[in-house]
Amino acid sequence: MSSLVAEKERSERLSAELERSAASIDALQKELTMARQSILSKDSEISALKRRMSELEVELEKTLKPRPELYEAFILSYIREHRGRISLAECSKEIGLPETNIRDILENLQDKGKIRLEN
Quick one: pLDDT at residue 108?
94
Instruction: Report the pLDDT value the prediction gives residue 73, as an integer from 0 to 100.
Output: 93
User: In whole angstroms, what is the distance from residue 12 CA to residue 6 CA?
Assistant: 10
pTM: 0.48
Looking at residue 29, its pLDDT comes to 95
Residue 106, C-beta contacts closer than 8 angstroms, at least 6 positions apart: 75, 86, 115, 117
Specify the pLDDT at position 48.
92
Query: Within the chain, which residues score under 50 in pLDDT?
Result: none
Provide the pLDDT for residue 86. Answer: 92
Amino acid 11: pLDDT: 86
Q: What is the pLDDT of residue 8?
A: 85
5-17 per-residue burial string, b: 16 or more CB within 10 A, e: under 16: eeeeeeeeeeeee
Residue 31 exposure: Cα atoms within 13 Å on the Cβ side: 6
